[in-house]
Chain A
């Protein structure tokens, strides 16, 4: 019973930690560590929740989750004893395995859909986009509204609309391109993929929605930090504000209410940079993330 209880406590702890983290502001001072912590919480929550259900279901084997599952497959008869599976344990078993299947299948499905959508996007770009001599290596689409994004992949492409070209000054454009280049280099799309998939698996969960929004904001801040090293932060900030105010005919309700808030948060930290977290704190958070991510799988081996 201990393993099930500890795993359940860990899962609850992850939920509480996630709640705290969505409101935390210190992550803005160390976005990379914030992202890592989010990933650790995600992994630990998933494995702990599944583990708690399975540990309860497989407790009669007395071998822990991992070896218990092996025992269930090879010797479902408890070594000759009649199966003591009562309804509660059977329910836990089914729930645990179902959650495991969902958490494996949903990201795979999401990845396949994403790859397909990106391929179509890239095909369309090949037909429509042009090169512009003022921005070498960047695809330009003739469209009046401001848009700048990258299509991630093995050969990532940075795309801007020609509305962006007329909206921004050359300095601001450089800042935007440095920001997008950071997304490409650090493969931020891979960071976002599992959180997007979790969002689709649990669409009713407000916490998952907030978590996804936090990670998205942290990813943008991480890219801002990289861009800041290469160009003037003020240019990046004014580019951000110009983008935010470029009137696009947007259908009501299509955008999150926090869009302006997150733009302002990014502008604030570009103009008034706070000191980075002290090394001791960074190390502590790093160690905590690793320990958290490792704890759940380790508990799968805890017998009893």
Chain B
């Protein structure tokens, strides 16, 4: 996936395989992984002659944002029901906590 994100243009499975540092990987393994990613909607593919060309469906940053929105509980609906350590607060409420933190560090 990182290879496809780094590439500017859609790649074929053969090209992906060539860029993977671990040369031991069989071409069919690469195909299988790419296929699975397509099925999960993370990659789009287009016909190019006899081969498929693969392209990320969204940028890496978009996925990071999606994960973290859910992680920080900002999506409104809490479908994934993650258990968080703590939530952060803003404004005057944060001031209360900041004061408590300073007192704690003084001890």
Residues of A within 8 A of B (CB): 113-114, 116-118, 121, 123-125, 127-128, 141-143, 145-152, 159, 161, 176, 179-180, 183, 188-189, 192-193, 196, 219-220, 223, 234, 237-248, 250-251, 254-255, 259-260, 263-264, 266-267, 271
CB neighbours (8 Å) of A238 from chain B are 101, 104-105
B86 touches A244 (CB 8 A): yes
In the complex, which of the residues A114, A116, A192, A240 contacts B86, with contact meaning CB atoms closer than 8 Å? A240
How many A-B Cβ pairs are below 8 Å?
149
Chain A CB within 8 A of B40 CB:
yes
Chain A CB within 8 A of B35 CB:
no
CB neighbours (8 Å) of B71 from chain A are 141, 147, 149, 159, 161
Distance (whole angstroms) from the CB of A35 to the closest CB of chain B:
13
CB neighbours (8 Å) of A267 from chain B are 100, 104
Number of chain B residues whose Cβ lies closer than 8 Å to a Cβ of chain A: 38
B94 touches A152 (CB 8 A): no
Residues of B within 8 A of A (CB): 1, 40, 42, 60, 63-64, 66-68, 70-74, 76, 78-90, 93-94, 96-98, 100-101, 104-105, 107
Q: Check A244/B81 contact, CB under 8 A, given A147-B71, A271-B104.
A: no
Give A128 to B67 CA distance when docked, in angstroms. 9
Q: Check A264/B72 contact, CB under 8 A, given A152-B81, A243-B88.
A: no
